Structure 1
Amino acid sequence: MNSKTVSNLVTAGVGSEAAPVKVDEPSSKRLRPATSDVWNFFKKLGTDKDGVERSECKGCTKVFRAGGKRYGTSTLKRHLDSCTQIKHEDIGQTIAELQLKMGSLKIDSGVARDMFASYVVAGDKPFNMVDDRRFRNWVKYISPTLKLPSRNTVKADIVKVHKREVAKL
């Protein structure tokens, strides 16, 4: 018999004859990897005498039931919020705070126009690139509050940048 499978002999009756038939049953379930981030803060202790898996907080060494269908990681996540020994940041809250800060960011349109004109001149770009729908969509995505100048305004700004650069010489 193979150690990985348990073989049972079953008697199958066909008419008056009884022939032994082997039935293989798997001895253990396939284990899935622990994918939750809470396992970075908890140590698996194994199963206790009740057959329930236990885990221990790495910060305060409190023991919890964990694993299986009945005892998931929700309790462990809630414990992380209240455990004073472990410092962790809620990344979702951090992103929300950054979005609020970015939304209140003020962009000076005059400075933006000068910088864009310098970019067009230095990169030898066409000044009518502001008319491209994809370029406008990209700028709107980056900064919804920024108002793009027209190609005629860009042309006038390029002349101003040119005069300013000539004056520096």
Structure 2
Amino acid sequence: MTVNVKNAHAAVGVVQFDSRQFPCALGRSGLSSIKMEGDGATPIGRWALRRAYYRADRIQRPITGLPLQAIRPTDGWCDAPCDPNYNRPVSHPYRASAERLWRHDHLYDLIIVVGYNDVQRSRRRGSAIFIHVATPDFAPTEGCIALRRNDLIQLVGMMRPGQDLHIGPYHWR
């Protein structure tokens, strides 16, 4: 699966999976090969697709080959660079800064965890890089990739363990 953008400063792109293409929103700072916590950039590179989470109270259990888990109201994701659980799932209340996965705005009704900075974590290199639901106007993200809800449901249905996500500039032909 590939994410392409027209230029490195654009916050819009295209997710390409086989012959299918889906418009997507990217980080407010575009793409970066040197991602840092809080910079608003989507990290360039090839990243594993780890697992999916969904809101069982809002959508049906999606069909996917990825490991799948329902989001609970206490689920979070640590974004505190000095915390031992940096860029890991945690439960709220949590002692350090941690994003809530149970959101009111529907953006995390379905999320796919991108394997960025997760095996050998580097402090301040970025956390919580997900593929999630876009706003209706495709507003830029904080560094994630966001698609229309129905496109994301279709895409997660095609995903299998061992697949990678390639994020990089699009080479127009």
Pick the structure with greater CA Rg.
1
Structure with greater helix share of residues: 1
Structure possessing the higher relative contact order (Cα contacts under 8 Å, 6 or more residues apart): 2
TM range (shorter): under 0.3
TM-score using structure 2 length: 0.20
